[in-house]
Structure 1
């Protein structure tokens, strides 16, 4: 096993100099720093994680809190998780994945254990019960999602209000005057999940503005649940000509059921999905969609979070943490964190893949 003494010998410096290069606690000349890092790369030296944590008050671990509930589309959620983990590992950070629905107590447990330098929270509710704890913790935190009260918090998400609005405007521009939203499971709405409520609000507001008749249905992500929703739409007085689907799990069954009912896409009914691009492209009919940027949101949290007293903690999101770690290893100062928390909403991007079209008279 390569030791710090081996690195020091190869670089022609003392072990304490190697330690200072790794910890950043003392100013080291650029020439010496480069020589030490070159020796580390050649020898394949890996600092002891426990010793490094004691010396620097950092674990290089990020806690990612994502309760895996039955009403969540796990494959899509895992796109967020995979992107976060991959980015973190690229820059020598590990991710502690917490999938149990522990609520505020789970955050207290992670903070008390000192297992992680920062916390990333997914599946955010409008009246998020974990917000008071996040404000109290002496460590940075980022939410992938936006609660109603986002004061003093760093949040990143798709602008779901604008996404719901864009869906209606897209269909209205094509002449659709009777549209329906097939949304997530009723449990998602009942729980007050932030993204679902914001999308629904944008959808309804745009429909009112454009004079579009809009039906909204919460859909249990099963074939029976889907059939029940379509039966309810067929029972309406006028035909629905445009469907907005904010429920990734039912996209495949929906296209199969529409074909069984002899409804062609887009000639008889336009279908506009909200999902990651690869999901939209993989359907039997490639779907026009508001592209859910799961990978981008997983990698780019956008902004820092407020830290506690003592040495500056590593930034909360893997992308920023990774850049900081990479800069330190290269002998450059890390990029500065924003002075204040921020809410960053990514603008929606609608990709036309041919599943929406003008109303056929």
Structure 2
């Protein structure tokens, strides 16, 4: 392990000078600082986390608050978490993962502990009870997701309303006149999770704009629920030719159920998903989809947080535009 004395010897300065360069407690010449920085890079020296914290009065730790509630698709949540961890490490910060459903009490406990410098909060509800506390805390925070009233907060996410609209626009372009949204599990809508509600609003708005018959069907995250939903759709909407799916857990069993009920994809039924690209590409019939950009959202959330920690101004809202990729699961109406 490289020590501060090794850096000092390599740079031709005293260990205390290296310490001053790291902490900023005493001014040193530009030439000496550059020589020390070059030695640090060449030797691969990493200051001890405790020493950094003492020098800066910071812990160099970010809390990622992601309560694992029912109805959440854990693999996608994990993608967001990994992207936050990767982004934070790029800024020499560690991540404390908080998955308990503790609400305001949990946030206050973490804020009062001095364990973390800042917060990234996920699974944001339209009227999230944590918002008043987040607005009042001294700790900087960034929300991955949008409440109904984002004033006084810093929020980033995919534009899920535009994503819902983009899916319907694609189906309308192909001539489909009766479409359905197979959405998140019912409990996700009940607690008014922002992204699910916005997809539904975008879906309905685009369908109305194009004069399409449309319906929304929350679906539990199971194969049996997917089968029941497919049966109900065909029973209640015999003219159905286009389906938007915003529920990663039922993508494969839902398509299987439609095919077992005698429909071919895309000959009789076109399917568009809102899901990660890898999931869409891996389907037996590759799915036309709007990507969930978890890596970009996580990385940019960290960038926003680091800017806030440094005192730099940041935008209140960052909405990433949807990116739709056409694959084999969609075609013109009536091609079967």
Query: TM-score by structure 2 length?
Result: 0.94
Instruction: Give the counterpart of 1:358 among 329, 332, 336.
Output: 332
Q: Deviations over 1:138-175 (max 9, x none)?
A: 11100000101111111000111111111111111111
Instruction: Give the counterpart of 1:337 among 306, 312, 315.
Output: 312
Alignment map for 1:317-332 (pairs within 5 Å): none
Alignment map for 1:1-361 (pairs within 5 Å): 2-301=2-301, 304=304, 314-315=306-307, 337-338=312-313, 341-360=315-334
Whether the aligned pair in 2 keeps the contact of 1:288 and 1:356 (CA below 8 Å) is: yes
Corresponding residue SS for 2:236: coil
Report the counterpart of residue 310 of structure 1 in structure 2.
none
Q: Deviations over 1:193-229 (max 9, x none)?
A: 0001111111111111111000100000101111111
Higher relative contact order (CA 8 A, sep 6+): 1
Structure 2 unmatched runs, 5+:
none
Whether the aligned pair in 1 keeps the contact of 2:120 and 2:301 (CA below 8 Å) is: no
Aligned residues between the structures: 335
Distance 1:101 1:28, change over 3 A: same
CA distance in 1, matches of 2:237, 2:291: 32
Q: Which moved more, 1:64-73 or 1:231-240?
A: 231-240
CA distance in 2, matches of 1:303, 1:60: 14
Report the counterpart of residue 311 of structure 1 in structure 2.
none
CA distance in 2, matches of 1:27, 1:198: 52
Q: 1:91: how far off?
A: 3.4
Tell me the C-alpha RMSD between the 2 structures: 1.9
Structure 1 unmatched runs, 5+:
306-313, 322-333
Whether the aligned pair in 1 keeps the contact of 2:182 and 2:246 (CA below 8 Å) is: yes
CA distance in 1, matches of 2:45, 2:133: 38
Corresponding residue SS for 2:243: strand
CA distance in 2, matches of 1:87, 1:286: 30
Query: TM-score by structure 1 length?
Result: 0.88
Whether the aligned pair in 2 keeps the contact of 1:271 and 1:356 (CA below 8 Å) is: yes
Corresponding residue SS for 2:258: helix
